[in-house]
Structure 1
Amino acid sequence: MSQATVQTLPFTLRGGAGTLAAWESTPPHGVEMRGTVLLVPGFTGSKEDFEAMVPILSAAGFRCVAYDQRGQWQSDGPDEVSGYTMVDFADDLNLVVDQISDDIPIHLVGHSFGGYVARAALVAQPNRFRSLTLLASGPSSISDVNFTPPQLVAQLIESGGQQALWEQMNRSLAPLVPPAKLEFLHNRIFATKKANMIGIMRVMEGPTDYTPALRATALPILIAYGNSGDLWPPSVHERYAEELNARTAVYDGVGHLPNEERPARVCADLVAFWTAVDAR
Structure 2
Amino acid sequence: MSKDQDTAPYQPQRLWQSQMLPVRNMHYHLRSWTPENHNPELPLLVLAHGWMDVAASYQFVVDAFSDAFVKGRRIVAADWRGFGLSRPPAACDSYYFTDYLADLDMLLEQLSPDRPVDLVGHSMGGNISCFYAGARAERIRRFVSLEGFGMPETSASQAPKRLAQWMDELRAQRAGGMDLAPYDSVEAVANRLQKTNRRLPRDKALWLAHHWAAPDANGQWRILGDASHKITNPYLYRVEEALACLAQISAPMLSIEASDDSLGQWHKGRYSLEQYHARLQQVKNCEIAVVQDAGHMLHHDQPQAVARLIENFLR
Q: Give the shorter-chain TM-score range.
A: 0.7 to 0.9
Q: 2:206 aligns with which of 171, 180, 185?
A: 180
TM-score normalised to structure 1 length: 0.78
Aligned equivalents of 1:140, 1:257: Cα separation in 2:
17
Residue correspondences, number: 262
Give the secondary structure class of the aligned counterpart of 1:54.
helix
Q: 1:171: Cα distance to partner?
A: 9.3
Alpha-carbon contact 1:223-1:237 (below 8 Å) kept: no
Q: Does 1:271 align with 2:291?
A: no
Which residue pairs with 1:250 in the alignment? 290
Which residue pairs with 1:193 in the alignment? 226
Aligned equivalents of 1:30, 1:41: Cα separation in 2:
24
Q: 1:192: Cα distance to partner?
A: 1.7
Q: 2:180 aligns with which of 159, 162, 165?
A: 162
Q: 1:107: Cα distance to partner?
A: 0.8
Q: 1:219: Cα distance to partner?
A: 1.8
Q: 1:42: Cα distance to partner?
A: 1.2
Deviations, residues 14-47 of structure 1 (Å, cap 9, x unaligned): 2223111111112464989632111111110110
Give the secondary structure class of the aligned counterpart of 1:66.
strand
Give the secondary structure class of the aligned counterpart of 1:45.
coil
Aligned equivalents of 1:96, 1:30: Cα separation in 2:
19
Alignment CA distance shift 1:227-1:175 (3 Å): closer
The list of structure 1 runs, each at least 4 consecutive aligned residues, that deviate by more than 6 angstroms after superposition, is 150-154
Q: 1:57: Cα distance to partner?
A: 4.0
Aligned equivalents of 2:112, 2:103: Cα separation in 1:
14
Alignment CA distance shift 1:30-1:194 (3 Å): closer
Give the secondary structure class of the aligned counterpart of 2:262.
coil
Q: 1:74: Cα distance to partner?
A: 1.0
Structure 1: unaligned runs, 5 residues or longer: 144-149, 276-280
Which residue pairs with 1:215 in the alignment? 247
Q: 1:175: Cα distance to partner?
A: 8.5
TM-score normalised to structure 2 length: 0.70
Structure with the bigger percentage of helix: 1
Match runs of 1:24-173 below 5 Å = 24-27=32-35, 29=37, 34-57=42-65, 59=67, 60-61=69-70, 62-77=73-88, 78-82=90-94, 84-141=95-152, 155=169, 158=173, 159-163=177-181, 170=192, 173=195
Alpha-carbon contact 1:37-1:64 (below 8 Å) kept: yes
Q: 1:102: Cα distance to partner?
A: 2.2
Computing the radius of gyration over CA atoms, which structure comes out larger, 1 or 2? 2
Aligned equivalents of 2:197, 2:97: Cα separation in 1:
34
Alpha-carbon contact 2:120-2:126 (below 8 Å) kept: yes
Aligned equivalents of 2:144, 2:197: Cα separation in 1:
31
Q: Does 1:227 align with 2:267?
A: no
Which residue pairs with 2:233 in the alignment? 202
Aligned equivalents of 1:47, 1:86: Cα separation in 2:
18
Aligned equivalents of 2:312, 2:196: Cα separation in 1:
35
Aligned equivalents of 2:213, 2:57: Cα separation in 1:
14
Deviations, residues 195-230 of structure 1 (Å, cap 9, x unaligned): 2343xx417852553223322332211111102142
Aligned equivalents of 2:80, 2:310: Cα separation in 1:
22
